[in-house]
Amino acid sequence: MEITASEREGTALTVITGRIDATTAPLAEEQLRQLAAEQEGAVIVDCSGLEYISSGGLRAFLIVEKELKKQNREIVLCALRPEVEKIFRLTGFTAIFSLEQTVDDAIANWK
């Protein structure tokens, strides 16, 4: 798993690649928190390279989302692979997170 900061059209973007499982979830949570602290507004996460997410990974996202909600901010997940999006839908997390089909949609709607 790798989480990096990027910028696109003047908007901060968090890019996740690889797998978030029980082993990598604590590091994912820590890195998401750090990147969120360095940004303002919504935290746009490009998930096009995210191959798999476990319950531990979902928990990491949820913890950061709850912290951001206290600041009237949120995580926006975009470009989810079908198998990862299915996990979010089956667990009901689509009701918690904002999802966008593409990075461009996320930037246009959450800038």
Per-residue confidence at 10, pLDDT binned at 50, 70, 90?
confident
- Collapsing DSSP states into helix, strand and coil, what is residue 19? strand
pLDDT on residue 8: 86
Instruction: Please report, rounded to a whole number, the percentage of residues in the chain having pLDDT higher than 90.
Output: 89
Question: pTM of the predicted model, to two decimals?
Answer: 0.93
- Domain boundaries, position 79: 2-108
The Cα angle at residue 85 between residues 83 and 86, in degrees rounded to 5:
65
Mean residue pLDDT of the chain comes to 95
CATH number of the domain residue 7 falls in? 3.30.750.24
Tally of domains within the chain: 1
Q: How far is CA 54 from the centre of its chain?
A: 14
23-70: pLDDT as tens digits? 999 999 999 999 999 988 999 999 999 999 999 999 999 999 999 999
